[in-house]
Structure 1
């Protein structure tokens, strides 16, 4: 018997190949789901596969367009997106995201205005699809004026605006514009916000539950909302005093720039239970805002307080002598905490948390001198947390973890009754 030709396949292989299902035979929702994981340009190119694939890409429920990932020039990107939105028509669109960073060599004023006109036309096309969420991140778009329809779109539940290198005498977001009856989440970056604008946002978005302000200039004196439950200030600056009236507020996130330059006053926040503070650095000459904020926390039922950033130790070292007693605090978290990073400061803070039940330390490896290690190992600053039950340590590097816990156990009377939980992050 002659050996089979290596170029011929067996009957079994032919049968398997013949019986393999065709991708095009899958249900339409499955195919659309597959296309949604592809790059928009690649998804559109599937239209040449067969007649059935011709319009499948138009049913993708989300579009994520990023020009600096697009292979080609700005002109090619503009042509592609314009054509795609035209042929897509008014097909239902759930989410739309546009990140457009104009080329560095684009300096001609007329050319910039052309880009602005193109971006505006795209927004109108997207709004005709009644989207649920829109995210716009635009760099170097001078003279941009966002269309009025964007702030009166009844279908929108989430809106994110990041306008970098923006310069226009007329702000793109005005109090008369906002009428978003179903908006639940709003994220604003690089904008100047005054009292009329903030009043317009809260009155025009009656269901708003989450608000995030990033690198914004604050020119308002108060924030009032009965529905808002989550509020974030990230790298904001401006107003000297901001009073917050939010009876439904549950969580508050702050970075050091805000507390150093703005005094936040909690006037009506009876539901506030979670506060997260991130300090990448701390300017000791500007601690009054942080101290006033800490005093405000004693008047609200905050039960979960979190600290992150390398500047936390310097902040606490300055504030602790005048720090209030946190009677309601039950959970305390320190992120990025090292073995020999001023543990005396931590122990002193624990003296101000008599009802603490859980302490979480997210440990990081710290390289330090032998002298620093000896100083850290001999410190004795006792604290009394009679209700403390658990010390949780999350670590990526085990070096120094046990030494960290030993210092804490040595300084508390509840050492033998505590549960120590370790987990690798």
Structure 2
């Protein structure tokens, strides 16, 4: 039995010695000896007597690592793992044994080569080892033969990997996620007839036509994510996908090559529901026909913009782009944006007249640190959301005293605003003034929630609570919920 077990181990780890080791490698199968009291049923292997399809079902609940380990249980279990449909191989779970000449990539090759003729539903490989194009070509070719549906390759080495052409004609693929360094070279023939999710990270797009060809060759695509990608020498990026429902674009200036601020990204997605854009507006985004949009996150970063543009250039370039983005998503129901957006908007002349009206918006989330808002950009934005029900602040900005003195009260305060949440309330005078303004004028407000750092001083907590409760309220039913964090 021991000899047979060692032969099975060698199928996966040719360098296993067969000796008992208390520090057994995660993939190796040392001799497992159960105490006599654990031999249930007088030595009868009840589980192994189950039908093979039931055993396969049991394996489906195990991690890939544990499924492979079952090969040492008995002869019936020896090759059961070779038919698992979901293979998840992350390097951190399978440390290399370099002294024995064994690496994680060897293990990946072994697992895939031993897989039987059954389909592989999903394959996920995550590695920081130096991966070459031959490795990737082998993995993808094997996956394609097994009718792969979901492929996730996360290769963090600096190696320049060229994806094989066979990947782009894999019609069984439903989900494709790629994170790797290097340029994305797209072949002329692409047949992603069933691809519904495409996620590309840290790749470089270097050709307008091939980039557009890739996006237009996904006729049923529903989710597209471009994260940390680089746009090299591109003038126009066109994403025209009628079936698209979720779009994520995350880029920072430091990830973009010089001169990229001349690039225009045009997005046509009539059925888009969710849109996340994290950027510094160095790239000019132009969105068309987003009438189906439900929620959007437009997250700007002013620090990156200041690297390229002085304040005058921001007013001429960045502010119009910010206004253009907001105008394009004016049908949205829930908007998440940042205080940096308000900074850009505050540079615009006659902002109230230039902002679109968000008739459908019921929820507004404002992330970022507080800042001085003498131009009243926040009040202008709120005035353009007549049906707003929920308002969430990470921190409250300092609304200009001039604006408050004028008594400009957004119409939603009297008609629809029901909840206000401030995540980091720190009791600054201008912050208290704005809260007082809200409580006085929000006549249908039901709840205001404030999270405050206590500093472990109970008397201070009581003083803050008392001060808030004594503020005049336009809504008799409004409840102020003050919660403290930092309490041991």
Q: TM-score range by the shorter chain?
A: 0.7 to 0.9
Of 188, 212, 215, the match for 2:200: 188
Residues 119 and 302 of structure 1: is their aligned pair in 2 closer, same or farther, counting only changes over 3 Å? same
Residues paired across the two proteins, number:
386
2:296 corresponds, among 259, 262, 275, to 275
Question: Paired residue for 2:274?
Answer: 251
Distance 1:50 1:255 in 2: 53
Q: Corresponding residue for 2:358?
A: 328
SS at match of 1:118: helix
- SS at 2:120's partner residue? coil
**Is this contact kept in 2: 1:335–1:362, CA < 8 A?**
yes
2:188 corresponds to 1:176: yes
Shift of 1:156: 0.6
Name which of structure 1's ranges 213-222 and 27-36 shifts more when overlaid on structure 2: 27-36
Give the alignment's TM-score, normalised by structure 2. 0.67
Residue aligning to 2:409: 383
Between the aligned partners of 2:286 and 2:90, the Cα distance in structure 1 is: 39
Instruction: Single out whichever of 277-286 and 79-88 deviates more from structure 2.
Output: 277-286
Cα distance in 1, alignment partners of residues 107 and 38 from structure 2:
42
Please, what TM-score do these two structures have when normalized by structure 1? 0.76
Higher relative contact order (CA 8 A, sep 6+): 1
| 1:19-418 matched pairs, under 5 angstroms | 22-24=46-48, 31-32=55-56, 34-36=58-60, 38-73=62-97, 75-102=102-129, 115-140=132-157, 142-164=159-181, 166=182, 171-189=183-201, 190-218=203-231, 219=234, 220-235=236-251, 237=256, 238=260, 239-257=262-280, 259=281, 261-282=282-303, 283=305, 285=309, 286=314, 288-298=317-327, 301-308=330-337, 311-312=340-341, 314-318=343-347, 322=351, 324-329=354-359, 330-336=361-367, 341-342=371-372, 347-361=378-392, 363=394, 382-386=408-412, 387-393=415-421, 395=423, 407-408=434-435, 410-411=437-438, 414-418=441-445
CA offset at residue 28 of structure 1?
5.2
> Quick check: 2:417–2:442 contact (8 Å CA) kept in 1?
no
Distance 1:320 1:161, change over 3 A: farther
CA-to-aligned-CA distance 1:286-340 (integer Å, 9 cap, x gap): 46235334235335542335335574554454458636333234234225456x5
Structure 1 counterpart SS, 2:443: helix
User: How far apart, CA to CA, are the structure 2 residues paired with 1:357 and 1:373?
Assistant: 21
1:55 CA displacement: 2.4
8 A Cα contact 1:175 1:199, kept in partner: no
Report Cα offsets for 1:179-204 as digits up to 9, x if no partner: 11011111112221533123322332
How many Å separate the matches in 1 of 2:319 and 2:279? 9
Match of residue 109 from structure 1: none
Per mean C-alpha deviation after superposition, the further-off stretch among 88-97 and 322-331 is: 322-331
Quick one: distance in 2 between partners of 1:72 and 1:202? Answer: 38
Asked whether the equivalents of residues 264 and 293 of structure 1 are also in contact (C-alpha less than 8 Å), the reply is: no
* Structure 2: 5+ residue stretches without partners: 1-36, 452-482, 484-488
**Using the alignment, how far apart are the partners of 2:365 and 2:221 within structure 1?**
30
